[in-house]
Amino acid sequence: LALATPPNKTIMDVIPTPVIIADPTTYVVRDLNPSFCRLIGGQRDTLLELDVRSLFLEDTAKAAAPYEPNESAKCLRHRSGATIPVGVSLSHICLDESPSLVFSLRKTTNNNENKPSNSLDPQTRQSACMAAIGKLIPGIAHEINNPVGFVSSNISTMKEYAQLFQKLLELYDQALSESPKKAELLDKIQAIKEEEDLEYVLEDIHNLIDESSNGMDRVKDIVIDLKNFARISTDDWQEADLNQCIETTLRIVWNELKYTCDVHKELAELPLISCNPCELNHALMALLVNSAQAITESGEIRITTEVAEEELIITIQDTGCGIDSSHTEEIFTPFFTTKDKTKHPGLGLVIAKDIIERHQGKIGVASSDDSGTTVTIVFPLT
């Protein structure tokens, strides 16, 4: 009995097994079938040309030996942000005389070995992120109110200066009209110039304009940062500078830090990495707020970035109270907290770990009572 595919369709189109074909060198997706699109919840056009490794929680390509099939349990990233446990058969073959990497997937019922046990579902993660932003709103409003306050004061001062110059211009107009009181008017103008110190006024106007412009730039930056924080999307992957993510997050949480923390930054020049910067901002926010809350009166937070051995490393070190050794194994457990549970639900560090692992990164915590806490985040560059 002869088997045939429907007209205008290939075998890839009709087989029920989800399949992806990628370049074995660049890992760029060359082809995929409708079964895979349905499994991942995405459109073919948006998935082509992606790095196939970004579709999984783990680096599935690294484990494959050339021309030898390899089977393993993995977690696929659904476009909604959820994780799907799958069995992956991976092979190097030649298609049309071109070396190719072929992934055959089978959905499984569980994947406890590979799926992070404390991973949050997307809805819980988004709700917790928005709640965290909500707690920062009063502080953000204060940071906006400061520049708005001095800009408002500067405008009042410049209004007085405008009235002064209007008065002088009116006197000049009268003097230029060959009024019989011309000499008297010129004396009056000179008296006003000396009394009001016009040289100072002109210099102050420039200062007020510069100060107001800088203040409005601060407000604009905060509003843009807040807008970016509020836009939580699992699909917003792009090339980004993690130093910029740190600066953005610091502006958002600054009111939480400035009263008790001296913040020191040692940011090395970093390569751009493929990531979801909005999600990473939330991870950094959770870690920085946690450090600030560990410092009761005064202390330091030191943030460093570096590249070492094909890895991008972020370190956040604080001089706070540290983490009790009996709690170090629980800090990444959902809803675990040593604080008031009505105010601190215990999801900040869980969210940070969840986001970092979704970016194929790792997070580690070292802490002691006398030296504070050091959080190390590592992202692979290859």
Domain ranges of the chain: 11-115, 142-227, 233-380
> Counting beta carbons within 10 angstroms of the beta carbon of residue 16, is it exposed (0 to 12), middle (13 to 18) or buried (19 or more)?
exposed
User: pLDDT tens-digit profile of 302-352?
Assistant: 999 999 988 999 999 999 887 766 666 666 665 556 555 445 545 668 788
Name the least confident of 141-145, 159-163, 324-328, 367-371.
324-328
- What integer pLDDT is reported at residue 186 of this predicted model? 78
User: pLDDT tens-digit profile of 210-239?
Assistant: 888 888 888 888 787 777 766 666 567 889
pLDDT higher than 90, residue 270: yes
| Distant-in-sequence, close-in-space partners of 195: CB < 8 Å, separation ≥ 6 | none
Mean pLDDT of 257-268: 92
pLDDT higher than 60, residue 7: no
CATH level 3 topology of 11-115:
Beta-Lactamase (3.30.450)
User: Which H, E and C letters describe the chain, residue by residue?
Assistant: CCCCCCCCCCHHHHCCCCEEEECCCCCEEEEECHHHHHHHCCCHHHHCCCEHHHHECCCCHHHCCCCCCEEEEEEEECCCCCEEEEEEEEEEEEECCEEEEEEEEEECCCCCCCCCCCCCCHHHHHHHHHHHHHHHHHHHHHHHHHHHHHHHHHHHHHHHHHHHHHHHHHHHHHHHCCCCCHHHHHHHHHHHHHHHCHHHHHHHHHHHHHHHHHHHHHHHHHHHHHHHHHCCCCCCCEEECHHHHHHHHHHHHHHHHCCCEEEEEEECCCCCEEECHHHHHHHHHHHHHHHHHHCCCCEEEEEEEEEECCEEEEEEEECCCCCCHHHCCCCCCCCCCCCCCCCCCCCHHHHHHHHHHHCCCEEEEEEECCCEEEEEEEEECC
CA separation, residue 232 to residues 40, 122, 187, 280, 284 (Å): 19, 10, 66, 10, 14
- What integer pLDDT is reported at residue 246 of this predicted model? 95
- What integer pLDDT is reported at residue 269 of this predicted model? 94
Could you give phi then psi for residue 360, rounded to 5 degrees?
65, 20
Name the least confident of 53-62, 149-158, 333-342.
333-342
pLDDT band of 6, cuts 50, 70, 90? very low
Pick the CATH number of 233-380 from 3.30.565.10, 2.30.29.30, 3.30.470.20, 3.30.70.120: 3.30.565.10
CB crowding 158-172: b at 16 or more within 10 Å, else e: beebeeeeeebeeee
Return d(Cα 305, Cα 378) in angstroms, integer: 10
Closest CA to 122 of 309, 316, 351, 308: 351
Mean pLDDT of 167-191: 76
Name the least confident of 39-48, 97-106, 120-129.
120-129
pLDDT higher at 30 or 193: 30
Return d(Cα 247, Cα 237) in angstroms, integer: 19
